């Protein structure tokens, strides 16, 4: 029997997509491509149904590069990174500081 909220964590995490343009990494707004709530976007980016997530994330990075290009933003490279930070009782991003946030690389797609 699978039920939601079987356990809890003390950190929040988010999949961040960034594109490389003119030597700088820019954040890609995923809400254009993954609608509805923050919770839905979080679930859709976790790819929990897939045992081997690497090819799926690589495909996602390729797709983002292509879609951003169609929207007028051309990146030579797109990377996906998990950002994790401590939960805060005052807001979802309140604990998201430079010192407390950790980043772990997922995949990078180079054009």
| Inter-residue long-range contacts of 54-62, CB under 8 Å, 24+ positions, other chains counted | 54/107, 57/106, 57/107, 58/107, 58/109, 60/107, 61/17, 61/107, 61/108, 61/109, 62/109
27 near other proteins, judged by CB under 8 A = no
33 near other proteins, judged by CB under 8 A = yes
8 near other proteins, judged by CB under 8 A = yes
Residue numbers 75-94 binding other proteins by CB under 8 A: 87-92
51 near other proteins, judged by CB under 8 A = no
6 near other proteins, judged by CB under 8 A = yes
How buried is 82 (Cβ within 10 angstroms: 0-12 exposed, 13-18 middle, 19+ buried)? middle
15 near other proteins, judged by CB under 8 A = no
Which of 18, 19, 28, 60 is the binder for other proteins (CB under 8 A)?
60
């Amino acid at each position: 029997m699978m039920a939601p909220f079987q356990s809890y964590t003390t950190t929040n995490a988010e999949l961040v997509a960034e594109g490389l343009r003119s030597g700088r990494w820019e954040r890609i707004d995923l809400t254009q491509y993954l609608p509805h709530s923050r919770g839905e976007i979080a679930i859709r980016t976790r790819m929990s149904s897939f045992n081997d997530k690497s090819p799926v994330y690589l495909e996602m990075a390729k797709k983002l590069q292509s879609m951003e290009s169609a929207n007028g933003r051309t990146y030579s490279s797109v990377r996906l990174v998990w950002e994790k930070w401590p939960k805060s009782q005052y807001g979802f991003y309140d604990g998201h500081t430079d010192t407390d946030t950790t980043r772990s690389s997922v995949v990078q797609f180079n054009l």
